[in-house]
Amino acid sequence: MNEVKNAYCFAQKAVLACAVFALAACGPSAQGDVQPTAKELDQYREQLSSRLSDPVKRSNIIAKVMGSTEERERHAFLKFHIFGFAGDGNLVPLFTMNNYVVQKWSPGEAAGSFSVDHYEVGYYSKFDEEAQIDSFINPLTDEEVDLPNFVLGPLAREYTAQPSDSRASFAPDPLNITLIGDRVYVPTLTTLAFPTRMPPGDWGPYYTGPMTYWDSMLVFSADVEDVLNDDLTHTDAEMHMQNLVSWAPFLKMGQAQGRTMVRAYGQHISGFDALPAEVRENFKKHTPEIFDIEGWTELRMDSIDLVNDLLEKRENGTLDIDQPGYRPKPVKPLTGPSQ
């Protein structure tokens, strides 16, 4: 009797195992695990190399991965983790920014040329958390500072089949485009240096020095089959970015050595409805401009907005550094990974 029962149980388990394996074999995860063969990858490399050797086709690939080769609005959402680096020791986590970008892409008259209208906003949360915050205690000074919402645009950008060697633009010619595995990577590098926008006067720790430096490395990646598919005008690219930027004046770091570093990641999305509900509502509350780009015609820049806010507070007598007894807090020395 026990032998019959054990044989029946074994048969049940065998049937169940076969069913599980059958489901796994036809399920989406198994399909997604299929990787191109070495021969297929070599063919992709040859096709990609051939197109990149033609300036117009190369420009079309850039537009296809970063935006669109036809007139189209593209949306992207990214998470920015922002750190401070004061010249020694480890990076210091500061806060996180939820970043939303809308771009309007249009082909130009010349083959391989494209114009882009760029709109970008962001609001802040505690480092690696979700809830929106208006201020935080800067761990480099232990002073509480206000966090202004980020609004940038509209900025006009141009991409052409005749690239420039200059990196001093928010629309620089991308670095060498390459295939890694089954993804095409389009890396960019922006290197800017411009006079600090603070107006004349004593601005104490808000003044970060005469120049602002900005080095940004943004990488787009897309599936190689999508990139080489001539029936597609755009791809849903993943995005990863790192940048090093002079201290933002609102951090009240003065002319202390160091910069902020951003590590960001995200991708193209279908639109606002693809956002988590809480994130979407926070954008509506704090940066409503992004939901009406047709009505957003006046240039906005975060640095200009901050200067105007400081000027208004000074005029109203509410600027914190003008209050009796105010003393800026010094930047704490950082000596190693244990601080």
- Decide if pLDDT at 171 tops 90: no
Tokens of 93: 């986590």
The closest alpha carbon to 65, from 186, 241, 217, 218, belongs to: 186
- How much is the pLDDT for 86? 87
What is the Cα Rg of the chain in Å?
25
Return the minimum-mean-pLDDT range out of 17-21, 209-213, 259-263.
Answer: 17-21
Tokens of 188: 């960019």
Cβ count near 193 (within 10 Å): 11
Average pLDDT estimate for 247-269: 97
- Decide if pLDDT at 16 tops 70: no
Tens digits of per-residue pLDDT, 199-256? 999 999 999 999 999 999 999 999 999 999 999 999 999 999 999 999 999 999 999 9
- How much is the pLDDT for 299? 96
- How much is the pLDDT for 65? 98
**H/E stretch holding 75:** strand 72-85
| SS3 at position 227 | helix
Tens digits of per-residue pLDDT, 29-69? 444 567 889 999 999 999 999 999 999 999 999 999 999 99
| Mean pLDDT rounded to a whole number for the chain | 89
Tokens of 137: 């205690």
- Decide if pLDDT at 189 tops 70: yes
The proportion of the chain whose per-residue pLDDT surpasses 90, expressed as a percent, equals 81
- Decide if pLDDT at 2 tops 60: no
- How much is the pLDDT for 34? 78
Is the Cβ–Cβ distance between 286 and 143 less than 8 Å?
no
At 23, the pLDDT band (50, 70, 90 cuts) reads very low
Range picked from 17-21, 120-124, 168-172 for highest mean pLDDT:
120-124
| SS3 at position 58 | helix
Tokens of 297: 């015609």
At 3, the pLDDT band (50, 70, 90 cuts) reads very low
| Amino acid symbol at 289 | E
